[in-house]
Amino acid sequence: MKLCAQKAVEEARERNLQLPEERNGRIVTLTNTDGKKYGGMTNKPVKEFKEFVEIASRADAKVLEIGAAYGTPYLMETFKKEHMGHYTACELVGDQLRILATRIEELDPSKLSNLTLIEGPFPHKEVIDHLQEGGYDAVLAS
């Protein structure tokens, strides 16, 4: 399901959703509606993904991140850049996307329009439709 980034921010604030604390170098992910936890997220960038951030930082870029959690270091680094393209973030757990949207809004509210949030399992219809329309310049799956 596609989420409106601005509405995701409003829902996160109404429900007081917060980024969990980091423990042992990882941030534990939230429990999904199926009752499962799907691991954790690191806040430490990996140098091998530098090229992904470079591509995502181009004004005409369209990138996809599968498993975006609360906003991986690559996503957050991209949104800190002066220029950037369009970033599609996919995640199983919708509340993590709501927290992600809040983080982007706090960083730079004008960049929410550069963000598409897709909740649910991959591949999702919106992603497949975009792939058929011309695709992405880069894809990151974590």
pLDDT tens across the length of the chain (142 residues): 888 999 999 999 999 999 888 877 777 776 666 666 666 666 666 677 788 889 999 999 999 988 888 887 778 888 888 888 999 999 888 999 999 999 999 999 999 999 999 998 877 777 777 677 778 899 988 7
Integer Cα distance of 109 and 85 in angstroms: 15
What the block records as the tokens of 141 is 């799956």
Does the residue 36 lie in any domain? no
Q: What is the CATH number of the domain that holds 63?
A: 3.40.50.150
Does the residue 39 lie in any domain? no
Burial of 59 from C-beta contacts in 10 A (0-12 / 13-18 / 19+) = exposed
Domain that holds residue 115: 2-18+49-141
Number of domains in the chain: 1
Strands 115-119 and 138-141: unpaired
Does the residue 71 lie in any domain? yes
Strands 86-91 and 62-66: parallel
